[in-house]
Every structure is written in structure tokens, then in C-alpha cells.
């Protein structure tokens, strides 16, 4: 006979100028100062091979790769210098941006923390400190909840299984040191506790009033909608009798109590208890008409399965029904909970998870449930995560975990959780000429600051789905060989957002004597190639590879801020940065050149009264076909 496992299942200026140039670096420095970053990178690499490298060389090499948007290589060399005692704060900032571009958001946050410590008055540091979670989390598996350790509830002993009814919470704890220690973990036997819970604060913790607690384990509870009946599980101990099965094992049983004058009394067992198998972890449907529980009774699929049983208006119980293979596995399914909308939450070590017990959910679908899904971080961890509950009206709840929390508390603790607002972007990529889906297209998301968030490959139907934080402005961009890339902006104010991207064949980029791309925009006083600009330039690269005789001249322009002389120099740097990016992608340097025109030829002739949008429109590059 199977046994229930246990009662508890638990950009940029160069940042290296503070270091000395020397005769060995002269050639590389010349390339760098001429904005020939590809050649500069090669020259700095040669210095490394010759044993002539120092912090200056590694930083310059990282800057070279950063300026042509080769963030993978830039990361390697920024990492090397980031721990040096004399590292410049700007190097740390660039490293943080590089990590973010490579999807390493946590490491990026760590570098931004360091940057903020080094340059606390820098506005970028101030903005980060005001909103340290600004880097969007990886969208695949985006967290749907926050989780906070409840220091006002947890003790140095095991605490778990919070259920809320009105302004009262109920939970299990081993903190009652007047009890004997349980042999498995050398903690006292579990009792059920109650406490006041108002505005997220726990007060007046006390053992449950009445006759529920005994010298043995009392665990998970469920409260009827009218608050007058409490279901709980306990060792098979009733009317003073402690029972064991044929193998000498005491099982887990479910009992219920009635609220009489503020105390839980009149304890009774449910009729499907048995000395030969366990029945535990009670949970109620929102209307109180169905009791869900866990058992290893005969006919179970795995070590422990989730069952349900009807409760009639007169309180009579029906016949237990196994929830079936869609929910139950050959492993353990435990701690069920039913949300107000009928969603089933439970823990399992049989469904694919992060390790130990993970929390899963399955939405109501007719008389059954839909696909089982892992609820993700931070609810789940590599430890046991269990006893999830949620109030759908407040979007707040609780989860228990053995991940620990601090040195002062036991490994089993309760976390307060808050549901986060998540919006789903449904993207579809199509051929602009025939409306056919473009399977295999790469779909990429960017935030409002053009930081890359994540990317996916569209399926055969041209579709890719993303989960993102609500109330954000997101750019959705699609690219595939043979077509120009395209982008659209969406707002995630709604729970579901559609982004349709129509791509034209790459040849249609040629209009008369120009290659017409979406604007290659630059930030004020900057000349680095931004991620979205890089994807635009990739179109040019693809077109030039397809047309091997094509020769392009890049014409770069600035806005009217700054002096004429400075703007001429800045536009030339932007033109050369653009040229260097294209060369870095395999295009021969003889086929592309660049020239800066400063503010002499604005796209929007707004004089001295330009808006920021108009300034950015004037900060652009154009691509003239010299030879086809």
C-alpha cells in the first residue's frame, strides 16, 4: 500500500583614458580614435596575444566591441576589468548595459548597484536607486507574483499552510515547545494556530481555540464559506485512540469541527478516512459544496493523488473521485487550493518543476481542468514550495517553502505573495505582399529605452507569444532572411495585446538611389549603435551581401543643439560608427564609406524651436547607393 510521503511536503565615450597610452597601443589607439572599431579590436587583440595587454587594453577592447554592438565579446572583456581597483565608473555602467543586452538581468542589476555606489550623483544612478527593478525580467517565465518572507509570523520552527478567513488566518506550526518532539525532524508536534491579519500585519498569534489540537500532528485547514466549519488533517487519533495500519504506521486523516461560542468543538471524522491509507490536506470549493483532498488510497495513480468529494446541503459526503491523470502523476500531488474563479492550485514533484515540490495551477475547463502550468518564480524555487493560497479579490495570498529565509528561522516558512499584473503580447509575422505567415521569423521585444528584453522564433503559423509587465510601452520587432525587418509599438495596458508585423521582401528597400531604412536614431550627444538601430543596419548588410557589387555612402546628420563645428564632428563620428558596424558584419570596407553633415541638412526644419521628437528625427543616417 502506498503511503502519504509526510504531513509536510514540503554609450559611449571611451572609459579607459585614465590609464596610460603607450607606444605599443599607438596603432590600436589610432584606429579607435578614428572610429575604426573593428580594426581597433583586432589591434588590441594582437596586443593581448603578444603579452602587451593591461587594464587599458582590455577596457579599450571592450569599448570597441560595445560601440559596434558586439555585446557578447564586450561582456567578456568588461568582466575582466570590472573587479580592478581603479576601474572607471563608466566602465561599470557599460558593463551593466552589456549584461542587460545579453539577457543577464540579475548580473546587470548588480553592476548598476556598483555604478550607483561609485557615482551616486549621476542621474542614471539616481534613477536606478529610485527604481532598482527597472530592468525587465526575462519574459519567458515572467514572474506572476512577488513573495515576501513573513517575519511577523515565522518562528525558528516549521510554519506553513496559511489559510485566510475574514481578518483571521490559520496556519500550522511546530512552535509549541510543550509538545513532544517529532522523531523525523526533532521539532515539536504540529499544532494549528490562529492570528489576526489586518492590512498585511499579523498580530495576536495563539493556538486554535477549542478541541482541535492534540499531542499529535494537526496540519492543513479549510474554512467553510460561512466560517462555521473547519476541516483539518491530523494523525489517525480520535476519541483517545491512536490507530496504526497493518504495517504499524499511523496514517493521516481528515476531521471537521464546528464553531461553538468562539471555539472549535464537536470533532468528527470524514467517512472516507481509513487506517490503511492516508487522507489529508483538505481544501474547499468557493461555494463549499466540494471538498478536495490528498490520498494514497487504492486506485491512486501515484504516491499521493488529489481527489474531490461532494458535500450535500445537509452535510453528507459523496464518493471520492480521483482528479485523473491530467492533474495527478506517478509522483506526489499535494496541498490543493481552489481559487474564487475555480482555478486549481497544488504542489507536485511529478510535473516538471525547478526541484522538490513546485506549485502548479490548472484553470477550470468544463467539468475538469485545462493544462497544468508551473506558476514560476518567485513562488517556486529549487526547494519544496507548497500550500499556496490566493484571494482573487485582493490578489494577495500565501505560500510555504523550505528554501529558508534567514539564519534565525526554520527551513519551512510562510511567504506573503502579491499577484503582479501581466499582459500577454500575441505577435504574428506575415509577408506584406501575400499575407502568408512567416514561420521562423525572429521576434524581439524592446522597452521604451530600446533595451532588448527577449526574443523568440515564430512558429510555422508566424506567431510568438510573450508575457510582459502591464502598463509598459513595448516595441515589437520581427526579422527573417530575405525580408526587411519591421517593428510596431504596443502598450500593455490591456491583459491581451496583438502585434501584427508585415514584412516586405528585402529588394523593396531600394528606392531610386537610396536604401530606405527606418531611421537610424541616435541619443543626444552619442554615436553608439543602439540595439534597434543595429537591427535596421542588419537589413543593409543583408541587402549588400545579396548584391555584391553594391557600394553605399552613409550620410549622417545631427540636430541643431550644439555648435556647427561640434555637430559636424559628432555627425562624422556617427557616420563612422555606422560604417564600422556594417564592416563588422562581413562587408568589405571598400564598399561602404561615411560622411557627417552636422546640422546643415535637417529632416525637420524647425530652427531653434524643435521639440525633442524633432531633434531625434534630425539625428539620423541616410544610405546613398553609389554603385549597384
3-state secondary structure 81-134: HHCCCCCCHHHHHHHHHHHHHCCCHHHHHHHHHHHHHHCCCCHHHHHHHHCCCC
Set of cell numbers at residue 457: 522564433
Which class does domain 423-504 fall in?
A: mainly beta
Q: Has residue 419 got a pLDDT over 50?
A: yes
CA atoms of 112 and 99, how far apart (whole Å): 10
Mean pLDDT for the chain? Answer: 85
pLDDT, mean of residues 234-260: 85
What is the three-class DSSP state of 211? coil
CA atoms of 247 and 250, how far apart (whole Å): 9
DSSP string, 223-249: E-TTS-EEEEEEESEETTEE---TTS-
Q: Has residue 256 got a pLDDT over 90?
A: yes
Burial level of 496, CB count in 10 A (0-12/13-18/19+)?
exposed
Do residues 303 and 5 touch, judged by C-beta distance below 8 A? yes
DSSP string, 252-318: EEEEEEEEETTEEEEEEE-TT-BTTB-EEEEEE-TTS-EEEEEE--TT-SSSBEEEEEEB-TTS-B-
Do residues 399 and 379 touch, judged by C-beta distance below 8 A? yes
Q: Which of 61-65, 80-84, 299-303, 396-400 has the highest mean pLDDT?
A: 396-400
Set of cell numbers at residue 23: 607606444
Q: Has residue 431 got a pLDDT over 50?
A: yes
CA atoms of 309 and 291, how far apart (whole Å): 5
Burial level of 291, CB count in 10 A (0-12/13-18/19+)?
buried
Do residues 534 and 70 touch, judged by C-beta distance below 8 A? no
- Name the residue among 501, 499, 438, 494 with its Cα closest to residue 469: 494
CA of residue 343 relative to chain centroid, distance: 22
CA atoms of 393 and 346, how far apart (whole Å): 20
In terms of pLDDT, which residue wins out, 333 or 122? 333
Distance of CA 400 to CAs 352, 364, 388, 418, 617, Å?
19, 24, 7, 14, 53
- Name the residue among 393, 331, 395 with its Cα closest to residue 358: 331
pLDDT of the residue at 103: 65
Residue 198 pairs with which residues in a beta bridge? 201
Do residues 419 and 144 touch, judged by C-beta distance below 8 A? yes
CATH of domain 508-627: 3.30.1330.60
CA atoms of 205 and 45, how far apart (whole Å): 65
Can you tell me which residue has the cell 505567415? 437
Measured CA angle at 142 (ends 136, 148), to 5 deg: 90
- Name the residue among 192, 174, 194, 173 with its Cα closest to residue 182: 174
* Those residues with Cβ within 8 angstroms of residue 192's Cβ, 6 or more apart along the chain or in another chain: 170, 171, 172, 207, 208, 212, 213, 218, 219, 221, 232
Whole-structure pTM value: 0.57
CA atoms of 617 and 434, how far apart (whole Å): 32
pLDDT, mean of residues 34-62: 88
Q: Has residue 266 got a pLDDT over 90?
A: yes
Query: What H or E segment, with its residue span, contains residue 41?
Result: helix 37-49
CATH of domain 145-419: 2.120.10.30
CA atoms of 389 and 164, how far apart (whole Å): 9
Q: Has residue 436 got a pLDDT over 60?
A: yes
Banded pLDDT at 3 (limits 50, 70, 90): very low
Banded pLDDT at 242 (limits 50, 70, 90): confident
pLDDT of the residue at 356: 64
For the ranges 153-162, 468-477, 612-621, the lowest mean pLDDT is seen at 612-621
For the ranges 160-174, 326-340, 354-368, the lowest mean pLDDT is seen at 354-368
Domain ranges of the chain: 23-130, 145-419, 423-504, 508-627
What is the three-class DSSP state of 506? helix
Superfamily of domain 23-130: Tetratricopeptide repeat domain (1.25.40.10)
Counting every residue, how long is the chain? Answer: 628
For the ranges 17-31, 316-330, 533-547, the lowest mean pLDDT is seen at 17-31
Q: Please list, residue by residue across 20-52, b when 16 or more beta carbons sit within 10 angstroms of its beta carbon and e when fewer do.
A: eeeeebebbbebbeebbbbbbbebbbebeeeee
Do residues 470 and 421 touch, judged by C-beta distance below 8 A? yes
What is the three-class DSSP state of 33? helix
* Those residues with Cβ within 8 angstroms of residue 314's Cβ, 6 or more apart along the chain or in another chain: none
pLDDT tens readout for residues 555-571: 988 888 888 898 888 88
pLDDT of the residue at 450: 76
Q: Has residue 277 got a pLDDT over 70?
A: yes
For the ranges 54-63, 126-135, 301-310, 333-342, the lowest mean pLDDT is seen at 126-135
The order of strands in the sheet holding 463-469 is 463-469, 422-431, 496-503
Amino acid at each position: 500500500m502506498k503511503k502519504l510521503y509526510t504531513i509536510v511536503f514540503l554609450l559611449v565615450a571611451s572609459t579607459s583614458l585614465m590609464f596610460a597610452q603607450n607606444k605599443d597601443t599607438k596603432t590600436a589607439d589610432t584606429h579607435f580614435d578614428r572610429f575604426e572599431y573593428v580594426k581597433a579590436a583586432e589591434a588590441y587583440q594582437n596586443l593581448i596575444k603578444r603579452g602587451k595587454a593591461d587594464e587599458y587594453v582590455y577596457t579599450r577592447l571592450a569599448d570597441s566591441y560595445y560601440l559596434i554592438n558586439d555585446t557578447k565579446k564586450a561582456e567578456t572583456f568588461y568582466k575582466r576589468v570590472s573587479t580592478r581597483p581603479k576601474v572607471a565608473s563608466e566602465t561599470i555602467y557599460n558593463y551593466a548595459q552589456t549584461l542587460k543586452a545579453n539577457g543577464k538581468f540579475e548580473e546587470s542589476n548588480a553592476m548598476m548597484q556598483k555604478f550607483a555606489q561609485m557615482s551616486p550623483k549621476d542621474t542614471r544612478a539616481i534613477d536606478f536607486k529610485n527604481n532598482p527593478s527597472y530592468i525587465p525580467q526575462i519574459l519567458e517565465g515572467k514572474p506572476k507574483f512577488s513573495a515576501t518572507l513573513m517575519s511577523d509570523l515565522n518562528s525558528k520552527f516549521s510554519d506553513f499552510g496559511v489559510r485566510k478567513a475574514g481578518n483571521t488566518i490559520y496556519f500550522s506550526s511546530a512552535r509549541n515547545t510543550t509538545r513532544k518532539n517529532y522523531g523525523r525532524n526533532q521539532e515539536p508536534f504540529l499544532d494549528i494556530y490562529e492570528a489576526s491579519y489586518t492590512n498585511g500585519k499579523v498580530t495576536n498569534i495563539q493556538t486554535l481555540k477549542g478541541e482541535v489540537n492534540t499531542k499529535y500532528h494537526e496540519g492543513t485547514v479549510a474554512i467553510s464559506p460561512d466560517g462555521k466549519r473547519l476541516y483539518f488533517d491530523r494523525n489517525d487519533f480520535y476519541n483517545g485512540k491512536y490507530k496504526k495500519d497493518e504495517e504499524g504506521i499511523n496514517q493521516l486523516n481528515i476531521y471537521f469541527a464546528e464553531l461553538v461560542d468562539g471555539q472549535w468543538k464537536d470533532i468528527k471524522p470524514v467517512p472516507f478516512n481509513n487506517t490503511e491509507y492516508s487522507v489529508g490536506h483538505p481544501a474547499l470549493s468557493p461555494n463549499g459544496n466540494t471538498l478536495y483532498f490528498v490520498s494514497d488510497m487504492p486506485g491512486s495513480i501515484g504516491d499521493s493523488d488529489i481527489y474531490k468529494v461532494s458535500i450535500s446541503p445537509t452535510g453528507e459526503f459523496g464518493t471520492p473521485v480521483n482528479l485523473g491523470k491530467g492533474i495527478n502523476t506517478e509522483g506526489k500531488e499535494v496541498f490543493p487550493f481552489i481559487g474564487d474563479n475555480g482555478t486549481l492550485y497544488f504542489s507536485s514533484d511529478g510535473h516538471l518543476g525547478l526541484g522538490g515540490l513546485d506549485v502548479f495551477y490548472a484553470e477550470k475547463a468544463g467539468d475538469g481542468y485545462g493544462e497544468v502550468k508551473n506558476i514560476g518564480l518567485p513562488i517556486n524555487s529549487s526547494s519544496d514550495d507548497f500550500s499556496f493560497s490566493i484571494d482573487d479579490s485582493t490578489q494577495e495570498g500565501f505560500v510555504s517553502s523550505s528554501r529558508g529565509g534567514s539564519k534565525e528561522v526554520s527551513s519551512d516558512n510562510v511567504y506573503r505573495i502579491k499577484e503582479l499584473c501581466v499582459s500577454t503580447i500575441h505577435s504574428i509575422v506575415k509577408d506584406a505582399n501575400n499575407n502568408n505567415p512567416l514561420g521562423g521569423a525572429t521576434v524581439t521585444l524592446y522597452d521604451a529605452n530600446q533595451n532588448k528584453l527577449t526574443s523568440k522564433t515564430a512558429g510555422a503559423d508566424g506567431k510568438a507569444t510573450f508575457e510582459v509587465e502591464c502598463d509598459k510601452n513595448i516595441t515589437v520587432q520581427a526579422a527573417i532572411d530575405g525580408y526587411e525587418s519591421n517593428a510596431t509599438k504596443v502598450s500593455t495596458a490591456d491583459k491581451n495585446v496583438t502585434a501584427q508585423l508585415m514584412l516586405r521582401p528585402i529588394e523593396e528597400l531600394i528606392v531610386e538611389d537610396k536604401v530606405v531604412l527606418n531611421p537610424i536614431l541616435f541619443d543626444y550627444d552619442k554615436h553608439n549603435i543602439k540595439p534597434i538601430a543595429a537591427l535596421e543596419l542588419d537589413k543593409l548588410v543583408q541587402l549588400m551581401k545579396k548584391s555584391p557589387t553594391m557600394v553605399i555612402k552613409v550620410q549622417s546628420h545631427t540636430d541643431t543643439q550644439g555648435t556647427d563645428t561640434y555637430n559636424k564632428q559628432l555627425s562624422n563620428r556617427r557616420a563612422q560608427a555606422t560604417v564600422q558596424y556594417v564592416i563588422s558584419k562581413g562587408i568589405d570596407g571598400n564598399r561602404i564609406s561615411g560622411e557627417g553633415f552636422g546640422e546643415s541638412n535637417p529632416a525637420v526644419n524647425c530652427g531653434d524651436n524643435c521639440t525633442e521628437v524633432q531633434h531625434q528625427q534630425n539625428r539620423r543616417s541616410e544610405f546613398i547607393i553609389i554603385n549597384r
